[in-house]
């Protein structure tokens, strides 16, 4: 990817709001470590997704800064995948410490399964199929607006 | 006095006037054909535009490509082959830059991985450029996929063979494009195509030699020992296979890399005893650039870069910065990110290291003052270096890999456009175009004249001369044409629908 800062932020929001929402809908019924009614799990899952999106905007600022040290001003495909580790760890720390509003008592297995599934899905989407829907996306540094 | 012109040729009135009324063309006896849009060139620039337009709903009957080429990849294939890039070799191009597919999905990496059942290629594209070299497609993959797409969009039906002589404005609106068809193909010497839109994608105006080499060739009439890498020069490699020899390679770009690779491969494969003197005008000894935010890798003479420009100049941050900058800002930024570079590929690095250690590859910083013949029929390159030393290098051959480009006025059609069509040159000496790739100053009524490719360098978009750059121009031109009602817009629905047709091989 060769994102601009605006492209990063817009892509993050767009992809989590579409692919992220869809994949969450798919994975929630089979998530391990859940208890109580399914509607409650959905509510928790979407709140976590929202938290990942909000924190992600901050992460994108950091990635943009790091990218400036690269001559090509590119963001290799692999980076888009492995950034799940720092992002996932920070979010787990926030969840565990009860710092994510209105989310309590999420099991690590639930969280890790959901995040891994959604992350891989959105990573695959931005590394290919998004170009089919938005033909100019890759030529505008990931901007959709 | 009787008119000695062949039937249907340009009259003095036409040659001398910048705006042609229909009457003047008819009076000259030149038959006129109407087509809404013509693309002049018939190489990859024309192909990518008509591909985008067909995908956006333009019928083949509304488009004509005027060219003396049989296929859009003909010139590219020729130049690649002679510059030591046979079809099996990998070109210098990103996986997602595929001229047969405006979406770039699936990338050439996925395409080749699937075709060759090669997980290694998938791993490479997944980990590039961190753990592996950048993936780049084989030249033959590009040819094969272009052939498929050409058939899908009925390219052959849109092609009109011949040499374009000029494009002139028509009185009122639109343009006349004068085509000289192959001898005997038409009753008249010329035909005129009257169109509302014209697209120029004529490629490089031409190649230029290094002045000292040109002088040597002309003075001594020797086109055998002093060769340009973009000309057929297989005899050099054949000679060096048959006996030990010395070759001087000049240049620091991708073509110099490929020529060295060939010379070094021949040493490995055929036991050639070739000594290589590699002359760098600018010898890059390490990372370079204005600061920590802008440092390009370099060493052993070379400036290293995966592609012809930093990757983001094709569609990311640097593209955006250049677009926003004014003329001076663009020139300054281009000075930093432009220049001659080559990719730092692991196999090439190993070969050059072996050559330096083995004492048969000699990279030197040198500017050649003069090339002269020696009494025993060889070549002496007289050089001076930045440190003031002068040297004389005797060799059997000199291969010029500098690939200097000729200026825009050296192309007949572009020169005519500058003289008669209202076109202007930008700071880089190329055609000035707007962000829609319309050539500034050439609009005529509701007619628009667009250009793409090498002739449009130095404007808002730096990577014009690349697969992705040609597609960028094609999509931007097509979007502009959609705004003028010529074709449909490429929104998400049409885009997805057309991609499905592409994927299943159905016509547009």
Q: What pLDDT digit, counting tens, does each position of B107-128 carry? A: 999 999 999 999 999 999 999 9
User: What is chain B's mean pLDDT, rounded?
Assistant: 95
| Structure confidence at residue B16 (pLDDT) | 97
Q: What pLDDT digit, counting tens, does each position of B179-199 carry? A: 999 999 999 999 999 999 999
Q: What number is the ipTM of this complex?
A: 0.96
- Give the confidence band of B89 by pLDDT, cuts at 50, 70, 90: very high
| Structure confidence at residue A45 (pLDDT) | 97
Does A90 contact B at CB distance below 8 Å? no
Q: What pLDDT digit, counting tens, does each position of B408-458 carry? A: 999 999 999 999 999 999 999 999 999 999 999 999 999 999 999 999 999
With 0-12 / 13-18 / 19 or more C-beta atoms within 10 angstroms meaning exposed / middle / buried, residue B282 is middle
The answer for residues whose C-beta is within 8 angstroms of residue B300's C-beta and 6 or more apart is B285, B352, B356, B363
Euclidean distance between CA atoms B146 and B47, whole angstroms: 9
Q: What pLDDT digit, counting tens, does each position of B233-242 carry? A: 999 999 999 9
Q: What pLDDT digit, counting tens, does each position of A98-145 carry? A: 999 999 989 999 999 999 999 999 999 999 999 999 999 999 999 999
Q: Do A140 and B315 touch (CB under 8 A)?
A: yes
Largest CA distance in chain B: 77
Query: Domain B12-73+156-205+407-504 is of which CATH architecture?
Result: 3-Layer(bba) Sandwich (3.50)
- Domain for residue A32, yes or no? no
Q: Do A71 and B305 touch (CB under 8 A)?
A: yes
Mean pLDDT throughout B501-506?
Answer: 98
Residue of chain B whose Cα is closest to the Cα of A5: B317
Return the number of CB contacts < 8 Å for A and B: 97
Q: Do A73 and B292 touch (CB under 8 A)?
A: no
Does B288 contact A at CB distance below 8 Å? no
Where does B89-243 have alpha helices with state H?
108-115, 119-127, 139-152, 155-158, 211-220, 234-242
Euclidean distance between CA atoms B213 and B227, whole angstroms: 9
Mean pLDDT throughout B272-286?
Answer: 97
Residue of chain A whose Cα is closest to the Cα of B305: A72
- Give the confidence band of B2 by pLDDT, cuts at 50, 70, 90: low
- Tell me the percentage of chain B whose pLDDT exceeds 70: 99
Residue A71 lies in domain? 5-25+38-140
Euclidean distance between CA atoms B354 and B388, whole angstroms: 29
Question: pTM here?
Answer: 0.96
What's the structural domain count of chain A?
1
Does B12-73+156-205+407-504 match B207-285+341-405 in CATH topology?
Answer: yes
Does B477 contact A at CB distance below 8 Å? no
Q: What residue spans define the domains of chain B? A: 12-73+156-205+407-504, 75-146, 207-285+341-405
| Structure confidence at residue A38 (pLDDT) | 96
- Domain for residue A81, yes or no? yes
Q: What pLDDT digit, counting tens, does each position of B451-488 carry? A: 999 999 999 999 999 999 999 999 999 999 999 999 99
Closest CB to B105 among A2, A4, A131: A131
B207-285+341-405: in CATH 3.50.50.60: yes
Residue of chain A whose Cα is closest to the Cα of B309: A72
Q: Do B315 and A71 touch (CB under 8 A)?
A: no
| Structure confidence at residue B3 (pLDDT) | 57
- Domain for residue A69, yes or no? yes
| Spatial contact of B219 and B58, defined as CB atoms under 8 Å apart | no
| pLDDT > 80? residue B227 | yes
Q: Do A131 and B103 touch (CB under 8 A)?
A: yes
| Spatial contact of B235 and B222, defined as CB atoms under 8 Å apart | no
- Tell me the percentage of chain B whose pLDDT exceeds 90: 94
């Amino acid at each position: 990817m060769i994102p601009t800062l605006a492209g990063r932020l817009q892509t993050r929001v767009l992809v989590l709001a579409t692919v992220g929402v869809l994949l969450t809908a798919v994975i929630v019924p089979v998530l391990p470590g859940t208890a109580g009614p399914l509607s409650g799990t959905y509510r928790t899952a979407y709140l976590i997704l929202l938290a990942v999106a909000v924190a992600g905007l901050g992460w994108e600022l950091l990635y943009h800064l790091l990218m400036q040290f690269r001559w090509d001003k590119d963001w290799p495909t692999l980076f888009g995948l492995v950034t799940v580790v720092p992002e996932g760890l920070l979010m787990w720390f926030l969840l565990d410490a009860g710092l994510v509003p209105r989310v309590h008592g999420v099991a690590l297995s639930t969280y890790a399964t959901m995040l891994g599934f959604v992350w891989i899905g959105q990573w695959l989407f931005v590394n290919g199929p998004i170009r089919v829907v938005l033909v100019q996306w890759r030529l505008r540094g990931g901007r959709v607006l | 006095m009787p008119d000695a012109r062949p039937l249907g040729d340009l009259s003095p009135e036409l040659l001398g006037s910048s705006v042609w009324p229909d009457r003047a063309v008819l009076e000259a006896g030149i038959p006129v054909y109407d087509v809404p849009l013509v693309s002049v060139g018939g190489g990859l620039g024309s192909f990518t535009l008509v591909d985008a337009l067909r995908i956006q709903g333009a019928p083949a009957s509304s488009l004509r490509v005027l060219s003396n080429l049989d296929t859009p990849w003909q010139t590219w294939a020729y130049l690649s082959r002679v510059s030591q890039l046979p079809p099996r070799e990998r070109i210098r191009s990103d996986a997602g830059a595929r001229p047969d597919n405006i979406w770039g999905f699936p990338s050439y990496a996925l395409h080749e991985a699937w075709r060759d059942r090669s997980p290694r290629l998938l791993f490479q594209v997944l980990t590039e450029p961190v753990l592996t070299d950048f993936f780049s497609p084989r030249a033959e993959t590009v040819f094969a996929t272009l052939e498929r797409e050409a058939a899908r969009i009925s390219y052959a039906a849109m092609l009109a063979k011949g040499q374009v002589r000029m494009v002139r404005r028509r009185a009122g609106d639109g343009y006349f494009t004068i085509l000289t068809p192959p001898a005997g193909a038409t009753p008249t010497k010329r035909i005129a195509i009257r169109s509302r839109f014209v697209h120029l994608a004529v490629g490089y105006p031409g190649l230029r030699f290094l002045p000292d080499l040109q002088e040597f060739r002309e003075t001594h009439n020797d086109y055998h020992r002093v060769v340009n890498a973009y000309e057929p020069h297989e005899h050099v490699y054949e000679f060096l296979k048959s006996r030990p020899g010395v070759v001087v390679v000049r240049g620091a770009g991708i073509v110099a890399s490929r020529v060295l690779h060939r010379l070094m491969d021949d040493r490995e494969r055929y036991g050639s005893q070739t000594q290589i003197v590699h002359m760098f005008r600018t010898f890059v000894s390490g990372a370079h650039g204005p600061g920590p935010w802008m440092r390009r890798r370099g060493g052993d003479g070379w400036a290293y870069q995966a592609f012809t420009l930093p990757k983001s100049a094709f569609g990311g941050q640097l593209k955006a910065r250049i677009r926003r900058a004014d003329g001076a800002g663009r020139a300054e930024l281009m000075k930093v990110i432009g220049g001659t570079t080559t990719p730092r590929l692991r196999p090439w690095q190993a070969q050059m290291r072996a050559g330096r250690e083995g004492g048969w590859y000699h990279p030197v910083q040198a500017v050649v003052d003069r090339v002269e013949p020696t009494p025993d029929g060889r070549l002496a390159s007289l050089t001076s270096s930045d440190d003031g030393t002068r040297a004389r290098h005797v060799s059997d051959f000199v291969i010029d890999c500098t690939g200097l480009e000729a200026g825009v006025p050296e192309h007949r059609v572009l020169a005519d456009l500058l003289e008669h069509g209202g076109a202007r040159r930008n700071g880089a000496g190329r055609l000035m175009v707007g962000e829609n790739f319309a050539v500034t100053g050439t609009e005529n009524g509701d007619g628009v004249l667009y250009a793409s490719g090498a002739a449009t360098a130095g404007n808002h978009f730096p990577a014009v001369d690349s697969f992705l750059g040609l597609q960028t121009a094609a999509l931007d031109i097509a979007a502009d044409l959609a705004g003028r009602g010529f074709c449909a817009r490429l929104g998400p629905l049409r885009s997805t629908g057309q991609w499905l047709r592409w994927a299943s091989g159905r016509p547009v």
